[in-house]
Amino acid sequence: MSQTPDSQYTELLSTAIEARQKAYAPYSKFLVGAALLTKNGTVFTGCNVENTSYGLCICAERTAICKAVSEGHQEFEAIAVAAHPLASPCGACRQFIVEFGKKITVISVDAEDTSKSKQWTSEELIPENFKF
């Protein structure tokens, strides 16, 4: 039996919250987790990883996408992002997500109060995205 989108997204949010626990954020203390759902149902997780040279930091969303692409996946259904407080993806992550489709569902949740969440399509987050 296949899951409904709502139950699938609830599970994705839980997975993002779990991924957040693996974040390496000794400087900002801002822990972020992500869970990326591919079109074939595979889920890839990511967390933010900071570096003393801030320009070298990588966000949870980009970590999950890079893991998926490196495993041969390029078609995505949704990505869940968990942080506290509730936060939407940064501009770089928005551009990174929309690279793979304008209709990807993006869901953000407050990892410590899951009643707080927001949902968009990737195109809604970055309507005039860069195109080469």
Active site residue 124: no
Domain count for the chain: 1
Closest by Cα among 100, 109, 122, 127 to 38: 100
Closest by Cα among 123, 74, 78, 80 to 100: 74
**Given the DSSP bridges, would you call strands 105-110 and 76-83 parallel, antiparallel or unpaired?**
parallel
| Domain span including residue 20 | 5-125
Q: Evaluate whether 13 touches 35 at the Cβ level (below 8 Å).
A: yes
Residue 131 belongs to some domain of the structure = no
Residue 40 belongs to some domain of the structure = yes
Segment 118-122 shows an average pLDDT of 97
Chain segment 47-74, per-residue pLDDT in tens: 999 999 999 999 999 999 999 999 999 9
Residue 102 belongs to some domain of the structure = yes
Q: What does DSSP assign to residue 101? A: -
Amino acid at residue number 104: I
Q: What is the pTM of this model?
A: 0.94
CATH number at residue 45: 3.40.140.10
Catalytic residue among 18, 61, 75, 128: 61
Residue 130 belongs to some domain of the structure = no
Residue 132 belongs to some domain of the structure = no
Residue 46 belongs to some domain of the structure = yes
Residue 22 belongs to some domain of the structure = yes
